[in-house]
Amino acid sequence: MKNEIIKVENLNYKVIEKGFFGGLNEKPIITDVSFNLMEKEILGIVGESGSGKTTLAKLVMGIIAATSGKIKFNLTENKRSGIQILFQNSEDIINPLRKIDDVINESVRLFNRKAFEEIKFELLDQLKINSSLLEKKGYQLSGGEKQRVALARILAVRPEVLILDEPFSAQDVESQLNMIELISFLNKKNNISFICISHQINLLKHFSDRIMVLNKGSVAELGKTKEVLNLPKQEFTKKLLAAERLI
C-alpha cells in the first residue's frame, strides 16, 4: 500500500487589491483546495490560464504563505529539499555565460560530494544530455536543452517530489514525447512523485495517475485520469475536454 507523501487541507490564498473607487479589497486566488499526493504517483493539475495552478504550486513549495489551511509533508528525510519545482521559465536560471559543465558540477558537488562523478554521469545519462553539451555556454543551448540542464540541477538534490509547471510549453511534438518518456522513467526508476501542471490534458492522459481540475482557484473535479476523461462529472471539465477534442 502506498503512503501519502503530501496532504493539502482547505487551502486558501487571497491578495489585497486596490478597489475601483480606492480602498482595499480581498481577491481570492485559491479557495478551499484539498488534495493529496501518494508516493510514486503522478498527479496532473489542469485548468484555464489564471485558474491558480502556478499559485497552488508556490503554496505547496512554501514560496508564498497560505491565508489559511494546512499542508502536511511525509517525506523520508523530512526536509524541504525533498520537494523541488521546475517553473515554466526555469531555464532562465542558467547563466548564459557559464559553461554547462560548471553549472552541473556545482549542483552535484553541493549535494553529493562522495559520489560526485558517478552521480553526475548518471544524471547525464538519465536526461540524455550529450557530453558535448558540457563544453557549451548557456546562451548556446536551445530551450529544450536548457530545460534538461535545469532538471539536472534539481535532480542532483535527489528530490522525492518534483513539481513541473507547464513542462510542455513551447515544445514541438518530439520534445513533448521525450518529456513524457522522461517523467515516466524518473517516476519508476527514481521513485519520484510528480505534480505536473499543464493546460494540455491530451498529454497528461498518457502518463498521469490522477487529474485535478481547477476552476477559478477551486477544485472542480479530482479523480483517476481515465475516469475524469471518460466520465467527467462537472460541466467545466466537459468544457475543457471539448476544447481539446477529448470528448
Any domain includes 8: yes
* Domain shared by 189 and 232, yes or no: yes
Any domain includes 84: no
- The three cell numbers of residue 21 are 473607487
- Is residue 165 classed as helix, strand or coil in its secondary structure? strand
Contact present, 63 and 165 (Cβ < 8 Å): no
Residue 73's φ and ψ, nearest 5 degrees, are -115, 140
pLDDT for 106 equals 85
pLDDT above 70 (res 69):
yes
pLDDT for 80 equals 60
Instruction: Give 21's pLDDT tier (boundaries 50, 70, 90).
Output: confident
pLDDT for 113 equals 61
pLDDT tens-digit readout, 91-147: 667 888 889 988 888 888 877 666 667 888 888 898 988 888 889 998 898 888 888
pLDDT for 194 equals 97
The per-residue pLDDT of the chain, averaged, comes to: 89
The pTM (predicted TM-score) of the whole model is: 0.91
Structural domain that includes position 136: 92-157
CATH number of the domain enclosing 231: 3.40.50.300
Cα distance between residue 110 and residue 28, in whole Å: 39
pLDDT above 70 (res 220):
yes
Strands 193-197 and 210-215: unpaired
Give the side-chain half-sphere CA count within 13 A for 184. Answer: 13
Mean pLDDT (whole number) for 202-215: 96
pLDDT above 60 (res 78):
no
